[in-house]
Chains A and B, each alone.
Chain A
């Protein structure tokens, strides 16, 4: 028994060692590293569910909705949950397809990640968030899914706000659209991460983009306890979402409708027209009352995943790039509408305002003959008539004389370039700064611009002047020879500001390009108080309960270099264009006693295309309140296409043929009142 007892003593020692080992290890795990495991436990045990805030609506000046939310039953699916299943969620998708009455293939396509080789439909958002599959689910379908959750793991059906566009296709480029926030955006905007849930949509264009932060609101956070299977056991804590602010704009639903109708009619009447834009500005405030662009589309197509065909149509040249707003992105030669700038430049350069000027049928500029419209001369006229009847040769002569005074091809040290400088002072050649994304600056040519351009292109030009254009020569040897000559000319004397170019600029032709919005802003400054304002669509941002109002003002960005006498003279001249001038036909029969319209037509030639039709106008002529600019690309003469469209817009605004869009010819001044419960008093 001695040996047995000895061995039992050894065992006792082993047992005590073992107990000590367990105790030490427990101390290490629970006390020394306890905090670390508490954190790990919280991480595994809780899920942060972000409760998206309801996005604020976009209202017109009277409080009518331009973009609002409607509630929809949305079925979404959690991709991560599908991937955890043995069959990759194939069975769940099959069952879901049956309930929703859609092919399985479509559901599969909608949940795959968008990428370079993936066509739509696909999911552009975060892969860790629920992907909406269908936002037009009936209550019965939703109940089928909710009542049989065991058959539909990872699938949810809930009421969600969906963007709704009461105007349909109206002002779609201005309003913009929403898309799911991408992983990349989430990474980039790490400071905003807390406000994104991944299911969140982010404004991708227009006002939705520019005022995204205000409209988005603040997401709420719900920290829920979950079990191993992700089943929610309870809510640990919760912060409620703060709904997005209400964006009140200067826009007017009724005027916008009139504008859209007028543009559609203009496009229809001009057979070759491929695009049109209209701007209605409030002269006094710089607010944008309506902004139209054709062709257009219904932003509702973006909601709930866009179909491939629809997406391609939106991006296609053939469909006329309906996503692009021609009012802010369209660059066209302004034609004769530009003459107000040229005339201001003449007066500024010392040409007498009340003087007499020759208007011959043609004018010789440095050896090239420049013709009047149809080559018709008007004899000796004043500047008033030069505008009303749109005489070109007066401006050719002035531009040529200015060019000569600047030294012609051998420029003086500080050329005055009155035409270029004045155009720049009118705001052309730079962005207006409107609250819309991606606006283009246009182009005002001049000596400095010419030089810069030459420096940038001379290498290619000089190379081409030697190698020619063999790829063009195969098809069209004549054109290739012309291009080679042009390249040679650009290589050798591309920096030279030629007299012909100066002459072309004076009547808004050649290299000059403006956007319809720029022209509207310039005219508003001209017929208003002479200050150049950066236009604004948004008027105010209001808290959803109506408490805090942040008004948005159009900042003054410059002053026209034109004295009041000259401005009055030009305004008076433009006032007769609709009765005695180039737009008289378009406005025949218009009740000028109700409201008198002033304006300037423009017909800009485009190489190889139909002319661009312009009408830049204002009303009433005595104390202008509105500026309306209409452009129809390939629309023909200004007086034929753009002016009638502008007339239709004025008829709508003043109610000539029916109910006035803006009663009394005044934009809505007071902000709409928003009650504490969020309803809008229109």
Chain B
């Protein structure tokens, strides 16, 4: 590695590792934090799935590691792109995500765990287009709202209208699946990008009021599924139905609380190996952290996730281009929301919603989407350093 400036015409690998290469300009702290979370996630997936099938304790974790590897490749690809390319490809990515969401509601789609949001690829693999819709929507909204109205910092009204329309289509499609958690995440992304695009406060208030009114209408018009209503009721008082909707939150509190300060050690969590918390490798993976690594492990994971968010915010602030700031801000809001809701629901301060914990939960498409988002953060960061 003590080579001088790499001459032109060397091999691709040499060039990629050279001093001019983007590899040396990535945000190292962000990279390390995400890597650490991936490793912890893989261990937790292993711990929570090793009791599933006798004789195949590593089946799930192997699949998860494969997903992570694909995710890192996607992350690298995204990181190599520059903002111009990202803006250029945004409509294409968005279009691909919409196509996926359309396919899901056609007979091509499949239902897993009560939500019709999957396309089975065969060989035990499946994609969840609604996850891919998250980075696609961020990019699309960033691209649409990148140019401010002349003489102001706010978006042009037409752009805003286009942006809201572009958001409404995937949100509507996800609601049809129905996937409540992802719907809310997409709403958060939309709101975040629109706010960062410099919308005036009075418009923000108006949009917030409209959203609240819609939410109230949805509640009172009975558009929610009974299980969703039950989850909210159970959130308010888990004791109302300890065997049903309250079961998850009671059991996850028990698992996390019984970890105490130091935890029971990896693979030594009785609640985890007894599989008392459902969906423990996906939405409730934080209960494994809590039980097996204790309070110290829990705050380590929270700190790592916080580090990702803080680095993201730093990248957004340091970015000189509106597009980059909007996209990175949207991504940070997306992650922040999922992190808070996911951990919050396992420790009883948020209602139970089907959102996974970024970088930690088991998942294929979700992992890809998260890693692509991290790649975008790195891409924006690399360009900033270049200029």
Contacts and interface: CB of A to CB of B under 8 A. Distances in A.
A410 interface: no
B386 to A, nearest CB: 19
B271 interface: yes
Contacts of A38: 257-258, 260
B334 to A, nearest CB: 12
Nearest to B261: A31
A201 to B, nearest CB: 32
Nearest to B263: A30
Given A1-B153, A7-B195, 10 more contacts: A1-B322, A4-B322, A5-B325, A25-B348, A29-B253, A30-B260, A37-B253, A37-B258, A38-B258, A233-B274
Interface stretch (B42-50, B76-84, B309-317): B309-317
A25 B343 CA distance: 10
Contacts of A3: 153-154, 198
B347 A14 contact: no
Contacts of A45: 270-271, 274, 276
Interface in A1-54: 1-5, 7-9, 11-12, 14-16, 18-19, 21-23, 25-27, 29-31, 33-38, 40-41, 44-45
Nearest to A12: B313
Interface in B311-370: 313, 316-317, 320, 322, 325-326, 329, 332-333, 336, 339-340, 343-344, 347-349
A582 interface: no
A306 to B, nearest CB: 36
Given A15-B313, A22-B344, A227-B274, A29 B257 contact: yes
A3 B194 CA distance: 12
Interface string A561-593: 000000000000000000000000000000000
A228 B302 contact: no
Nearest to A84: B243
Given A3-B153, A18-B336, A23-B299, A228 B349 contact: no
A18 B198 contact: no
- Greatest chain A CB density within 10 A among B197, B295, B326 is at B295
29 contacts: A3-B154, A4-B326, A5-B317, A8-B329, A11-B313, A14-B336, A15-B306, A15-B310, A15-B313, A15-B332, A18-B340, A19-B305, A22-B340, A23-B299, A25-B348, A26-B298, A27-B295, A30-B257, A30-B294, A33-B257, A34-B258, A37-B258, A41-B255, A41-B270, A44-B251, A45-B274, A45-B276, A227-B51, A233-B51
Given A8-B317, A27-B295, A233 B273 contact: yes
B244 to A, nearest CB: 13
A462 interface: no
B259 interface: yes
Contacts of A22: 302, 340, 343-344, 347
B290 interface: yes
A229 to B, nearest CB: 8
A35 B258 CA distance: 7
B254 A41 contact: yes
Contacts of A73: none
A150 to B, nearest CB: 14
A46 B131 CA distance: 39
Interface residues on A, range: 35 or more
A225 interface: yes
Contact of A11 (B258, B298, B333, B343): B333
A404 interface: no
Interface string A215-232: 000000000011110000
Contacts of A1: 153, 320, 322, 325
A48 to B, nearest CB: 15
A40 B253 CA distance: 10
Contact of B196 (A2, A8, A37): A8
A214 B273 CA distance: 41
Interface of A: 1-5, 7-9, 11-12, 14-16, 18-19, 21-23, 25-27, 29-31, 33-38, 40-41, 44-45, 225-228, 233
B156 interface: no
Contact of B260 (A2, A23, A35): A35
B185 interface: no
A498 B257 CA distance: 84
B75 interface: no
B256 interface: yes
Main DSSP-derived SS at the A contact region: helix
A1 B340 CA distance: 28
B281 to A, nearest CB: 14
B87 interface: no
Contact of A30 (B196, B259, B303): B259
Contacts of B344: 22, 25
B310 A225 contact: no
A26 B302 contact: yes
B25 interface: no
A18 B309 CA distance: 11
A11 B332 contact: yes
A23 B305 CA distance: 12
Nearest to B276: A228
Interface string B3-45: 0000000000000000000000000000000000000000000
Contacts of B295: 26-27, 30-31, 34
A225 B258 contact: no
Given A25-B349, A228-B274, A30 B290 contact: yes
B276 A30 contact: no
B116 interface: no
- Greatest chain B CB density within 10 A among A3, A16, A30, A44 is at A30
Given A3-B198, A12-B313, A34 B273 contact: no
Across the A-B interface, the 7 shortest Cβ-Cβ residue pairs: A37-B257, A34-B260, A41-B258, A30-B295, A227-B274, A3-B153, A19-B306
A31 B263 CA distance: 11
B258 A21 contact: no
A21 B336 CA distance: 13
A254 B230 CA distance: 72
Nearest to B305: A19
B275 interface: yes
Contacts of B309: 15, 19
A227 B258 CA distance: 16
Contacts of B270: 41, 45, 225
B257 A25 contact: no
A472 B195 CA distance: 101
Nearest to A28: B347
A45 B317 CA distance: 49
A45 B326 CA distance: 48
Contacts of A227: 51, 273-276
A228 B309 CA distance: 36
Contacts of A7: 195-196, 198, 329
A236 to B, nearest CB: 9
Contacts of B256: 26, 29-30, 37
B325 A8 contact: yes
A279 to B, nearest CB: 59
A2 B320 CA distance: 11
Interface in B148-165: 153-154
B347 A29 contact: yes
Contacts of A26: 256, 290, 295, 298-299, 302, 347
Nearest to B243: A84
B302 A23 contact: yes
Contacts of A44: 251, 254, 271, 274, 276
Nearest to A27: B295
B253 A2 contact: no
Contact of A34 (B257, B271, B303): B257
B258 A40 contact: yes
Nearest to A2: B153
A75 B38 CA distance: 50
A38 B294 CA distance: 12
Contacts of B154: 3
Contacts of B294: 30
Nearest to B307: A19
A359 to B, nearest CB: 87
